[in-house]
């Protein structure tokens, strides 16, 4: 089977790595990929940007691709699935309407509200003056979210009124995130711990993936600005068997039912960001794709044939499917470039990438190869991921491996997985 993977980050490297292990797989093309994907067996990087929908369509047709798997959210929100399916190409991911679950915070919150799915109370503003008036009188802390896609940087938790007003100006007046901040969702601050719950859908059936927990803040102790994610671990002790069933029955299934009521069929990965405390579970956000960096530790633990699962999901054949998991814990640490998530420099040679083993893998997030030398090429550069018998073992194994790698300006959090030890 020939597979096309779209994207260039750590998620796409992990997907490619796992697909290549399948006996069903004969060839993987990654568009555009990175220095890590091109080293995987059966794999070739191709020079197409994830946003080049027509170019990707032409390539898939010419190469007679059997299955396309879309990693990032932008091409999904732009309608890549619709385009491919109109041309009779098998593709895994939600169509343009369904991808609004991530493409528009307002759409997502309305689905939750109409489906009676627990989430934070919220207000929507398109006028910065009205938003400012609301912030001057609301309870603090408060959460501000850009309505559109913002690469994981559109959520700001304000712990003072000054922070809230500064965030408002940044998003709606200064247009720091462009048109993504034209409309603002302002919602109540929820107490508890965040967890990620990802499922694979085929339009009818749901197969849950292993639970995970990520760390979005840049600095140790969950301080600093929000990022796309600085590390993750799987499973999370926050979600036991009882909570797993509760999430499926009271959150995931009602969400899909509400989408169906709107004549929207959801196919692909659906990622619920949850806030969990002793009293309840509430939805913070939905993403229309596999998480990054959650994908890396989750796929490290997957024992089932990932390509077979993806193929069955794309063909609406997930009924009665299940996934076998490694009982060990997996933990991933993101190594980033100085300045991330704001301005950062790239092009620095990376040293110390070691020979991998069955329990440690270095996934490339933002790298390129020049004259046989691997260089940094993004804000998030690597995700070092290790397996251990328990969370503490996984922590020690992963950080030992991470400490061997370096480039100018490299940094990483030192406390991934520490929340629940």
Final residue in a domain of this structure, among 141, 162, 182: 182
How far is the C-alpha of 192 from the C-alpha of 120, rounded, in Å? 12
The string over 232-266, giving b where at least 16 C-beta atoms fall within 10 Å of a residue's C-beta and e elsewhere, is bbbbbebbeeebeeebeeebbebbbebbeeeebbb
How much is the average pLDDT of 68-80? 97
Q: What is the pLDDT of residues 186-224, one digit of tens each?
A: 999 999 999 999 999 999 999 999 999 999 999 999 999
End-to-end CA distance of the chain: 42
Kindly state whether residue 354 falls inside one of the protein's structural domains: yes
pLDDT at residue 150, rounded to an integer: 83
Q: How many residues does the chain have?
A: 421
CATH number at residue 413: 3.90.600.10
Kindly state whether residue 220 falls inside one of the protein's structural domains: yes
How far is the C-alpha of 314 from the C-alpha of 320, rounded, in Å? 15
Neighbours of 159 (CB within 10 A): 11
CATH number at residue 215: 3.30.470.20
Q: What is the pLDDT of residues 352-386, one digit of tens each?
A: 997 778 899 999 999 999 988 999 999 999 999 99
Same domain, 271 and 216: yes
Q: Are strands 217-219 and 223-226 parallel, antiparallel or unpaired?
A: antiparallel
Same domain, 175 and 198: no
Half-sphere exposure of 235 (CA within 13 A, CB side): 16
**Of the listed ranges 9-18, 21-30, 92-101, 178-187, the one predicted with least confidence:** 178-187
pLDDT at residue 6 is higher than 70: yes
Pull the structure tokens for residue 190. 């929820």
Cα–Cα nearest to 105, from 73, 130, 75: 73
CATH number at residue 158: 3.30.1490.20
How far is the C-alpha of 139 from the C-alpha of 396, rounded, in Å? 41
Cα–Cα nearest to 90, from 198, 209, 204, 2: 2
Name the pTM for this structure.
0.95
Same domain, 147 and 247: no
More confident site: 150 or 45: 45
Neighbours of 377 (CB within 10 A): 21
Cα–Cα nearest to 412, from 234, 228, 291, 231: 231
pLDDT at residue 121, rounded to an integer: 96
Same domain, 282 and 344: no
Q: What is the pLDDT of residues 293-349, one digit of tens each?
A: 999 999 999 999 999 999 999 999 999 999 999 999 999 999 999 999 999 999 999
Q: What is the pLDDT of residues 28-41, one digit of tens each?
A: 999 999 999 999 99
CATH number at residue 76: 3.40.50.20
Which residue reads 């490694």 in tokens? 326
Q: 395: phi > 0 → left, psi -120 to 50 → alpha, else beta; which?
A: alpha
Kindly state whether residue 323 falls inside one of the protein's structural domains: no
Same domain, 220 and 239: yes
How much is the average pLDDT of 90-115? 97
Domain count, the chain: 4
Beta bridge partners of 367: 376
pLDDT at residue 116, rounded to an integer: 97
Q: Which helix (H) or strand (E) holds 335?
A: strand 329-337
Distances from the Cα of 363 to the Cα of 16, 27, 250, 333, angstroms? 10, 20, 34, 10
What SS3 string covers 252-310? HHHHHHHHHHCCCCCEEEEEEEEEECCCCEEEEEEECCCCCCCHHHHHHHECCCHHHHH
Kindly state whether residue 120 falls inside one of the protein's structural domains: no
Same domain, 243 and 287: yes
Pull the structure tokens for residue 109. 């919150």
Same domain, 306 and 340: no
Sign of the torsion angle spanned by Cα atoms 86, 87, 92, 96: negative
Kindly state whether residue 111 falls inside one of the protein's structural domains: no
How far is the C-alpha of 203 from the C-alpha of 222, rounded, in Å? 36
pLDDT band of 169, cuts 50, 70, 90: very high
pLDDT band of 173, cuts 50, 70, 90: very high
Final residue in a domain of this structure, among 182, 216, 248: 182
Domain that holds residue 338: 329-420
**What does the mean pLDDT of the chain come to?**
96
pLDDT band of 226, cuts 50, 70, 90: confident
Same domain, 152 and 225: no
Same domain, 57 and 23: yes
Kindly state whether residue 73 falls inside one of the protein's structural domains: yes
pLDDT at residue 421, rounded to an integer: 40
Kindly state whether residue 373 falls inside one of the protein's structural domains: yes
How far is the C-alpha of 166 from the C-alpha of 173, rounded, in Å? 10
Q: 32: phi > 0 → left, psi -120 to 50 → alpha, else beta; which?
A: alpha
Final residue in a domain of this structure, among 96, 116, 136: 96
Q: What is the pLDDT of residues 258-296, one digit of tens each?
A: 999 999 999 999 999 999 988 799 999 999 999 999 999
Kindly state whether residue 224 falls inside one of the protein's structural domains: yes
Same domain, 21 and 79: yes
- Say if CB 7 and CB 70 are below 8 A apart: yes
Residue 420 is classified by DSSP as G
pLDDT at residue 290, rounded to an integer: 95
How far is the C-alpha of 390 from the C-alpha of 235, rounded, in Å? 10
Same domain, 264 and 153: no
Same domain, 167 and 200: no
């Amino acid at each position: 089977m020939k597979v096309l993977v779209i994207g260039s980050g750590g998620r796409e490297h992990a997907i490619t790595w796992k697909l290549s292990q399948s006996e069903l797989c004969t060839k993987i093309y990654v568009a555009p990929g990175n220095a890590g994907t091109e080293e995987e067996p059966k794999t070739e990087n191709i020079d197409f940007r994830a946003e080049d929908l027509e170019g990707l369509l032409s390539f898939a047709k010419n190469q007679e691709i059997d299955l396309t798997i879309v990693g990032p959210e932008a091409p999904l929100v732009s309608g890549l699935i619709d385009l491919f399916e109109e041309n009779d190409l098998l593709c895994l991911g939600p169509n343009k309407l369904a991808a609004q679950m991530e493409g528009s915070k307002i759409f997502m919150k309305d689905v939750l509200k109409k489906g009676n799915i627990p989430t934070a109370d919220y207000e929507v503003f398109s006028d910065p003056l009205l938003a400012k008036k609301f912030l001057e009188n609301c309870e603090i802390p408060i959460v501000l979210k850009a309505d559109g896609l913002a690469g994981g940087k559109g959520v700001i938790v304000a712990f003072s009124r000054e922070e809230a007003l500064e965030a408002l100006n940044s998003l709606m007046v200064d247009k720091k995130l462009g048109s993504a901040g034209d409309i603002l969702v302002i919602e109540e601050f929820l107490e508890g711990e965040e967890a990620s719950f990802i499922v694979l859908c085929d339009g009818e059936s749901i197969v849950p993936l292993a639970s995970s927990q990520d760390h979005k803040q840049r600095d140790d102790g969950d301080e600093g600005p929000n990022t796309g994610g600085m590390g993750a671990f799987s499973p999370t002790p926050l979600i036991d068997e009882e909570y797993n069933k509760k999430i499926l029955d009271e959150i995931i299934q009602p969400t899909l039912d509400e989408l169906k009521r709107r004549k929207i069929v959801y196919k692909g990965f659906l990622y619920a960001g949850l806030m969990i405390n002793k009293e309840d579970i509430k939805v913070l956000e939905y993403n229309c794709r596999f998480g990054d960096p959650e994908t890396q530790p989750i796929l490290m633990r997957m024992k089932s044939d990932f390509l077979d699962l993806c193929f069955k999901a794309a063909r609406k054949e997930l009924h009665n499917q299940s996934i076998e998991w490694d009982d060990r814990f997996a933990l991933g640490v993101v190594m980033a470039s100085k300045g991330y998530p704001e301005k950062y420099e790239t092009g620095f040679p990376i040293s110390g990438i070691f020979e991998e083993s069955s329990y440690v893998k270095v996934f490339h997030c933002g790298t390129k190869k020049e004259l046989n030398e691997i260089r940094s090429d993004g804000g998030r550069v690597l995700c070092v991921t290790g397996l251990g018998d328990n969370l503490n073992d996984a922590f020690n194994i992963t950080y030992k491996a991470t400490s061997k790698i370096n480039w100018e300006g490299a940094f990483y959090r030192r406390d991934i997985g520490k929340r629940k030890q």
